[in-house]
Copies of this chain bind each other. A is one copy, B any other.
Amino acid sequence: MDINLLKDLIVPAQTKIAMIILDGLGGLPQEPGGKTELETAYTPNLNALAAQSALGLTIPVAPGITPGSGPGHLAIFGYDPVEHMIGRGALEALGADFELEPEDVAARGNFCSVGEDGVITDRRAGRISTDLCMDLAKLLRTIKVEAAEFFIEPVKEHRFVFVMRAPGLGDALSETDPQKVGVPALTVHSLNRESEQAARNVNLFIEQARSLLRDRHPANMILLRGFAKLPTLPTYPDLFGLRAAAIALSGMYRGVAKLVGMQVLKVDGDMIADEFKTLENNWQDFDFFYLHIKKTDTCGENGDFMGKVHVIEEVDALIPGLMSLQPDVVVISGDHSSPAVLKSHSWHPVPTLLYSNIVRADGIAEFGERACTRGSLGMLPAKDVMLIALANAGRIAKYGA
C-alpha cells in the first residue's frame, strides 16, 4: 500500500507493540529430513505463544534474494527495501555508531599494502591490529582539504569508516578499490554532475593519505568503496504515529533504527537478558519496541548450529517476562535467514509469529519453519508485517466508506 495513503489511515491508540528480531533466525537442517536450528531448540514459551498467534514466513526482499542486514531490517520495519537502499558506506558508519548527518558522504575504508610502484600487494594490509588501525586513523584525521571536513573512525583490524562533510556533495562516486592485487588503487570519478566536487575532495584526501602513510608498510595506502549518503525515510513517529524505541547491542542496528526515527535506548550490560530488562524498564514510555538479538546470526555465519540453538533457547526463556508486560501485539521474526550449514545469510523465508488478542490464531503450538508454512499469514513480504501489527494494535482506520 502506498505509504502516503497509509499515513492518512493511521489513528492514535493506547496500544503497545513489541517486535523481537532474532537476526538470521531462519535455518536449515544439518541433514536431509532433519530439524532446523529453530525446530531443534527447546522453546516451550515460544510454542505456547505460537498457539495463540498467526504464523507465516516472510520474504524480506524478493523470492530467492539473500538480504543484507540493511534491506532485511528496512523490510521488517515496513519499508520497501528495494526503493529505500542504505549504501554500504552509510551502513558501515551507522555500524561504527558514527552520528551521520543527512549530507555526509560515507565510505568503507581499508588500509592496504602497496609496493614502490603503487601497485597493491595486499588489499587488507596483512590484517593489521585494531590498535594500529586506531593509531593510523588519528594520523588520517590530520589531513586538511579546503572544501570539506573529514572524519575517520577505526572499525576492526584494517577496516575504518571514512566520512566527508560539506554542503551539497553528491555520492555518485566510483570506488578506489580495484578488488584485486597487482594493480594500483583507482582514482575516484564522479558518476553524475552533482558529485564532481565530492570526487575532487576524495582524490585530494587520498593524495595526502598516500604521503602520510608512505613509511607505514604494510598499511601504506588506503582503499575506499561504497560511497553513500543516508537515504531519507519517513519516520515511525511521522508515518505510523508511534513513539518507537530501539534496543540493540550492535551499532549497525541502532543506526538503522535511528534512521527510521526510533529512539535508541541505552542497554546496561551486553547480554540478551539485559536487552529485555531495558525493554521492561522503558515499557511505559513508548508505543513500539524493536529488540534486536545479534547472536543467532553470528552463530549462523560461524556454522555453529548448536550455538544458534542455544541462543534461541536463551530468548525463549525471556518470553514469559515480555508477556507479563501484557503487550497488545508481539512480532517475533528475523531480518533474514542465516542457516548454520550455509555459514552465511540466505534467501530462505523467515519464520514469523504475530500475537495479539484479536489475531486469528492458527492454533499451531510450535514455532518453527515447517509450522510457519502451515500458518495463516502464509508466505508474505516482510514489509507487510508492520501493517498487520498496526491493524492488530487498532492503529489503522477503515479504508473507504
* Chain A residues at the B interface, C-beta cutoff of 8 Å: 1-2, 5, 9, 28-29, 32-33, 36, 51-52, 57, 61-71, 81-82, 85-88, 91-92, 226, 339, 341-342, 344-349, 357-358, 360-363, 369-370, 373-380, 384, 387-392, 396-401
Residues of B within 8 A of A377 (CB): 379
User: Assuming the A-B contacts A63-B384, A71-B400, A399-B71, are A28 and B358 also in contact, with contact meaning beta carbons closer than 8 angstroms in the complex?
Assistant: yes
Contact of A82 among B5, B67, B392, B398 (CB under 8 A): B5
- List the 4 closest A-B pairs by CB distance, nearest first: A64-B387, A68-B400, A64-B391, A378-B379
CB distance from A372 to the nearest CB of B (A): 9
Q: How many copies are assembled?
A: 2
**How far is B379's CA from A362's CA once the two chains are assembled, in angstroms?**
14
Could you tell me if A52 and B69 are in contact, using CB atoms closer than 8 angstroms?
no
The A interface is mostly helix, strand or loop, or mixed, namely: loop
Query: Closest CB-CB distance, A270 to chain B, in whole Å?
Result: 24
Whether the pair B387, A376 counts as a contact (CB closer than 8 A) is no
User: Among the listed B88, B226, B388, B398, which residue makes an inter-chain contact with A345, where contact means beta carbons less than 8 Å apart?
Assistant: B398
14 A-B pairs with CB atoms under 8 Å apart are A63-B391, A64-B384, A65-B396, A69-B400, A71-B399, A86-B400, A88-B401, A226-B401, A342-B358, A346-B391, A347-B391, A362-B373, A373-B374, A373-B376
Answer whether A360 and B348 are a contact pair too, CB < 8 Å, given A63-B388, A65-B1, A82-B5: yes
A388 and B347 form a contact (CB under 8 A): yes
**A380: chain B residues within 8 A (beta carbon):** 63, 379
User: Which residues from B are CB-within-8-Å of A388?
Assistant: 63-64, 347
**A32–chain B nearest beta-carbon distance, Å:** 6
Contacts of A87 in B (CB 8 A): 401
Chain B hits for A389, CB < 8 A? 64
With both beta carbons as reference points, the residue of chain B lying nearest to A90 in the complex is identified as B401
CA–CA, A69 and B387, complex, Å: 20
- For A68, the chain B residues whose CB sits under 8 A away are 398-401
Please indicate the chain B residues that have their CB under 8 angstroms from the CB of A1 in the complex: 61-62, 65, 82
Residues in chain B near residue A339, CB distance under 8 A: 358
Instruction: Give the shortest distance, in Å, between A77 (CB) and chain B (any CB).
Output: 14
In the complex where A91-B401, A376-B370, A401-B88 touch, is A387 in contact with B70 (Cβ < 8 A)? no
